[in-house]
Chain A
Amino acid sequence: MARIKENMIHGLFFLNGLVVVGVLCGIFAILVFTAAPAFKEISIVEFLATVRWNPTSYYKPSYGILSMIVSSLMVTIGALTIAVPLGIGTAAYLTDVASPRVREVAKPVIEILAGIPSVVLGFLGIVLVGPIIARVFGLPNGLNAINGSVLLAVMALPTIISLSEDALNSVPRSFTEASYAVGATKWQTVVRVKIPAAISGIFASCMLGMGRAVGETMTVLMATGCAPAMPRNFLDPVRTMTASIAIELGEVPYYTTHYYALFGIGLVLFVITFLINMAADAVLNKYQVKVR
């Protein structure tokens, strides 16, 4: 009897795993099959290596997505530059420095941060973050890559803080006690013992935060200007891949080159996130071995 139950549970979990893999393969297949017709008319080199995207041009349509790829990478890197130090710092503060009372208040607040809808953050980007950036850098407006980075950092922070905190908490007590026993200060213990010991979990949290930033649509659509020109630096407007798909998919005539090309962008986005996750996994495994 117990054996049958065991087998059934085993089967159930196997099925669950299979469904996830199936959905993933299905999405990939749809992207590939819908994107493929685009490359009858656009060469892959033109698609990936030219900067001009204007499928509804007054003259001749052009389908280069290089500036979008660069834009997406810029806001993502910018977001991580802000969110990673801040997130790990906050996590370390919550686990090792903060009094229980502070922790009780801070944790739910951080979790609420994760629940803010992206459209609200986008709005804040326009009316609050944008004007501040404009004043600080002496620009006419604040619709640029920095604005997008700041907002995406806010979105990635809860993920990074929560998961890093879990990782730090799961460092065995004996590690910290050993550190204190040899006379290390609190700062030395956190920075030299706890964070290195928890690095695999912290790294995973950063990767999840990065995934959130790459795929985010509404915030960047509203707050980064969405000009299709190649950004020259972080003070230029950017137009990410996600924003382009969101803007154009609603109005595009179906089964045209433009329609297929939008799926092409989706495919590129999919491949980028896939590669990020693969890389994260590889690094993760390496570090885990090192710690043990």
Chain B
Amino acid sequence: MFRKTAKMLGVLILSVVVSLPALSQEMVQVRGSDTMVNVVQRMAEVYMQNNPGRYIAVTGGGSGTGIAAITNKTVDIANASRDIRQQEIIRARNSGVEPTRVVIGMDCITVVVNGDNNVDRLTVAQLGAIFRGEITNWKDVGGADMPITLYGRQSNSGTFVFFRDVVLKGDYSDRMNRMNGTSQIVEAVRADRTGIGYIGLGHARAARGLRVVRLALREGGEYADPTNPAHIAEGKYPIIRTLNQYIDGMPEGRIKDFLSFEVSPEGQKIMSEMGFVPIPSEYVEYNRTNAGV
């Protein structure tokens, strides 16, 4: 009895030991941006269902972590919700890695106000002035005579930095409330008639009692609605960032297979289900010439 158990145990251990290297060879490791971790994880689940025997492991940690990991060759794919920096490219090349970029989707930052607020359109310049604290009353941007209350993220958020660098090009007002996460901004703006905040498109779609503000790049320009896929596809919406993946050199084999799945219509359907924007045509072309997917 004991001998039998021991034998079986031995076989079991042996099979695990033998299959471990095979498993790690088959496994594609993805690491990086916290914004992207859920959507890439979802894509990986569907991909593994479609392709039994393939393994994709997705972890977060931030865009910088992902890029560092691909430089150190500890992962196969890095998720980054920002573009790679010149410094990071140099560091990667020094360790023999040539970062190749694939755009797997877009992330829209939407600006929301309370549902009772009649302001439904702003220019990027007005938006910047509002969050810098230069415009402090809604009547200055075509609304009722009431003060503006600002709701933003805390400084540890990537969105805080992105919005500041793209829209404000300066510092946030000291009077902006620093909220602890996107859902708190949603709650606060919904409860506050004078509020304005910025959140991801997925949250804006799901939330009630909020008005999504249409934005124009400049005075007299067309006001684009981020909830209208056509406006985004035409590149009219001004606050949008690419969701990137970086790999070493040209993708091959199982990595290429997974990347192809991500940019395929099935992968892109998951992208929009998770509240992100599918790849616009210019980046479809870019992916084809740049990485062959």
- Chain A interface (Cβ < 8 Å from any Cβ of B): 52, 54, 56-59, 126-127, 130-131, 134, 140-141, 143, 221-222, 225-229, 237, 239, 247-248, 250-251
Contact = CB atoms under 8 A, between A and B. Distances in A.
Interface stretch (B3-11, B97-105, B192-200): B192-200
A237 B177 contact: yes
A228 B133 CA distance: 13
Contact of A141 (B146, B171, B174, B195): B195
Interface of B: 146-147, 149, 154-156, 161, 164-165, 168-171, 173-180, 184, 187-188, 191-195
A247 B164 CA distance: 17
Given A140-B192, A247-B154, A251-B155, A222 B171 contact: no
A140 B178 contact: no
Contacts of B147: 140
Nearest to A239: B178
Contacts of B146: 140
A250 B156 contact: yes
B155 A141 contact: no
23 contacts: A54-B171, A54-B174, A56-B155, A56-B161, A58-B164, A59-B171, A126-B184, A126-B188, A127-B187, A140-B147, A141-B177, A141-B195, A143-B177, A143-B188, A222-B184, A226-B179, A226-B180, A228-B178, A229-B173, A239-B178, A247-B178, A248-B155, A250-B156
B180 to A, nearest CB: 5
Contacts of B194: 140-141
Contact of B171 (A57, A226, A239): A57
Contacts of B180: 221-222, 226, 247
B178 A225 contact: yes
Contact of A227 (B164, B169, B178): B178
Contacts of A239: 178
A227 B191 contact: no
A65 to B, nearest CB: 14
* Majority secondary structure of chain A interface residues (helix, strand, loop or mixed): loop
B156 A229 contact: no
Nearest to B170: A58
A218 to B, nearest CB: 9
Given A58-B164, A140-B149, A141-B195, A52 B156 contact: no
Contacts, number: 71
Contact of A225 (B169, B177, B193): B177
Nearest to A222: B180
Nearest to B181: A222
A58 to B, nearest CB: 5
Contacts of A126: 184, 187-188
A226 B169 CA distance: 22
Contacts of B149: 140-141
B155 A247 contact: yes
A221 B184 CA distance: 12
B228 to A, nearest CB: 29
A131 B191 contact: yes
B191 A141 contact: yes
Contacts of B168: 58
B130 to A, nearest CB: 15
Nearest to A130: B191
A184 to B, nearest CB: 51
A58 B69 CA distance: 28
Contacts of B179: 226
Nearest to B180: A222
Given A130-B191, A247-B156, A58 B169 contact: yes
A127 B156 CA distance: 24
A229 B175 contact: yes
A126 B183 CA distance: 11
Nearest to B62: A251
Contacts of A227: 174-178
Contacts of A221: 180
A221 B155 CA distance: 13
B156 A248 contact: yes
A31 B177 CA distance: 29
A66 to B, nearest CB: 13
Residue among B154, B173, B179 with the highest chain A CB neighbour number at 10 A: B154
Contacts of A250: 156
Contact of B195 (A58, A140, A248): A140
B164 A134 contact: no
Nearest to B156: A251
Contacts of B169: 58
A140 B193 contact: yes
A70 B180 CA distance: 21
Contacts of A140: 146-147, 149, 192-195
A52 B133 CA distance: 15
Contacts of B195: 140-141
